[in-house]
Structure 1
Amino acid sequence: MWKKKQKQKVKVTSQKPFMLRTEQRGKMKDEKLMKKVKDILTEEEKMRIPIAQALPWTVYEPECLIKPPAKESTKPIDVKLRSDMRAIGRAEFDHQVAKKLSLIEQQKMEMERQKMLAEEEEIRRLRKELIPKAQPMPYFDKPFIPRRSMKQLTIPEEPKFHIPNHKKLIKCLSFKEMRSYSFADENVDDSSGHLLMWREIFNLYRDEQN
């Protein structure tokens, strides 16, 4: 087996060009460019050949143009614009405002004039009052004689102040009498309620002393 393999000859690799799409697109672009250049050159050659232009037919036969029918002249229409109406109203308003302002100005001037006249009149009156004038002498034919009053003399009276009864009793009793008074005496007869009244009086007096 080894010998058979040695006998077989190895083929030499042959180089083949690659079929790339970029090369194909490049060839197509080159062909288009060459064709475009040829077309431009042929057009330029044709343009170099002079071609005589014929004269217009109006040189030999004058052209008679047909006149269009005459149009009627447009008649203006009296259009009333809103802006014109507003302008008229605004002019009237401005006139009234100016008239009112002039009246106010006249009234102000009249008031100032009246004020000036009043001030001048007041100044004249004050000047007249400042001038010293002689006063007439008074009449002493009826002298004043004082008279004794006919009213009776006032009699003083003692004021009558309202004092509660328990305060009257407290004022009448002295402090020693209140302290010497004993409420613990069992022999005191409390049938008429005097004991309770004295107890209340003593408590009130003690509160006032404290």
Structure 2
Amino acid sequence: MSQNNNQGDKTIAVDKSQTTDIQATDEQLIAWINSRRSIGSLDMPAPTSEQIKAVIECAATAPDHKKLRPWRFIVTQGAARSELGEALVTAAKEKAQREGETLSEKTMHKTANLPLRAPVIITVVTHMQAHKKVPPFEQMLSAGAAVQNLILALKAQGFSTVWRTGLLCNEPAVKAYFNVSADDYITAFVYTGTSPTEKPVRKPIDIEPLTRFEP
């Protein structure tokens, strides 16, 4: 695993690993992907450091035009979650001040506790690069694909997740906390851990209004 010095010691940049054959039928794999659900409140046990490295390797196999690797992964756990909560409160105060509002103590307390809803948070941020053949929107989509790979890899390890962002994720105070430049974005807070309840079954999705086949 290599460290990315541009993002500080909070950032993990992992080289892509070689793929291996999946021992499952096409039908089983499709059913497994369709069973993914977002779980809002998560408990221990959480993925270990080695398991987190493994899922980041999967995330790093996302489609990536010209191999720019326009994403970084920051793992927040333990006491660092409270530090992130403080950054969110600062961001909320600054946002409210700009809008001429005042935050209540209740809102500040709730905001500070947001990162405590899971034992581990993997934050995915962009690392956009100027390239004449890879426009910014492609790099952003690559980051989104990395998030989905991350979520599915965590599911494969038996963990639950929820992809969060929110109105505060790209406020200056939060970007500063993660060492994210003004031209980059926080694309996901992937909360992960173990679901305290059984996952609900997803209702079938009608894809007819979402799909068009050209003749």
TM-score normalized with structure 2 length: 0.13
Which gives a bigger RCO, structure 1 or 2 (Cα 8 Å, sep 6+)?
A: 2
TM-score normalized with structure 1 length: 0.13
Q: In terms of Rg, which structure is larger? A: 1
* Greater fraction of residues in helix: 1
* Greater fraction of residues in strand: 2
